[in-house]
Amino acid sequence: MIPAIEVENLGKDFPRVRGGFDWLRLPWAGADKPVLRGVSFGVAPGEIFGLVGPNGAGKTTLLKILSTLLEPSAGRAALSGCDVVRQSAAARRQLGYCPGFDRAFYLRLSARENLRFYGALNNLPRRPLAERISSLLAALGLDGARDEPVRNFSTGMLQRLAVARALLHQPRVLILDEPTRSLDPTAAAWLRRHLREELAGRQGSTVLVATHNLTEAEEICHRLGVLDQGRLQAAGTAKEVCRQAGAASLAEAYARLTTPEKASEEARPR
């Protein structure tokens, strides 16, 4: 069986960000900065895989490579067997992506108009699209605001709309970057249940979710990967990760496997 997500020895270097007179002072001090190093893991169809790690660990970079928004410097990655660099169009057909930035909408359009636009770009026929939009907006509690301009939405409503956009074309692989970050407890609980029971359970979709919420990761993910300083420090079920770290709980394992964020680690392209 072809894994839904394959990541093999993936590496990503970014050019060092230099400003002002650095170009004159240090013209050759331009070694690339490694952000991901030798990351390998696979996710089976219907599985929910969680990525946890401190800020700057490389989670978003990894998700962007899988979403075809970034090219890796080394290694390879594939979605349902489609290489994300060489077969990027085919890879995108498998993909639903929910970015971490929750204002990535046309704010003067309504929720329905935004989803209609993205649905057309994802080749959804008109009538099924209209039905899909109605059911998703209802499920995400946005039905009452479907014709309101998105600029009037709260952060939580925008986040729910971003989830709806990612689910619109019923993708086989769903990539979510901190999807519950701005959600209230009820909406977050609904999303977690929806991911586990509906998407992974009934529809057999594969979900890769990056989160800082360890309780959430433990609750919804079949397996987890702990990413730190660009390396996958441990991967497996929550129990396996704890065993690998020699810890009694996931929180303790996380603390042992990761290093506190340094301010300089943040200075990189996103």
269 interacts with another protein by CB under 8 A: yes
Which DSSP letter does residue 152 get? G
CA distances from 59 to 39, 86, 220 (A): 11, 22, 18
Per-residue contact track with another protein, 165 to 184, x per CB under 8 A? x---x---------------
Contacting another protein (CB under 8 A), which of 8, 83, 113, 219? 113
153 interacts with another protein by CB under 8 A: no
> According to CB under 8 A, which residues from 215 to 234 bind another protein?
none
Contacting another protein (CB under 8 A), which of 4, 7, 39, 70? 70
Q: How far apart are CA 235 and CA 43, in angstroms?
A: 11
Per-residue contact track with another protein, 71 to 110, x per CB under 8 A? x-x---------------x--xx-x-x-x-x-xxxxxxx-
Q: How far apart are the first and last CA of the chain?
A: 34
| Per-position DSSP letters for 193-254, written without gaps between them | HIIIIIIIIIS--EEEEE-S-HHHHHHH-SEEEEEETTEEEEEESHHHHHHHHT-SSHHHHH
With both helix axes pointing from N to C terminus, report the angle between 126-139 and 111-121 in degrees, rounded to the nearest 10: 130
Shortest distance in whole angstroms from residue 146 CB to another protein: 15
270 interacts with another protein by CB under 8 A: yes
In the structure encoding, which two tokens stand for residue 218, read together? 């433990």
The contact set with another protein (CB under 8 A) reads 12, 14-15, 61, 64, 67-71, 73, 89, 92-93, 95, 97, 99, 101, 103-109, 113, 116-118, 120-123, 126, 149, 165, 169, 268-270
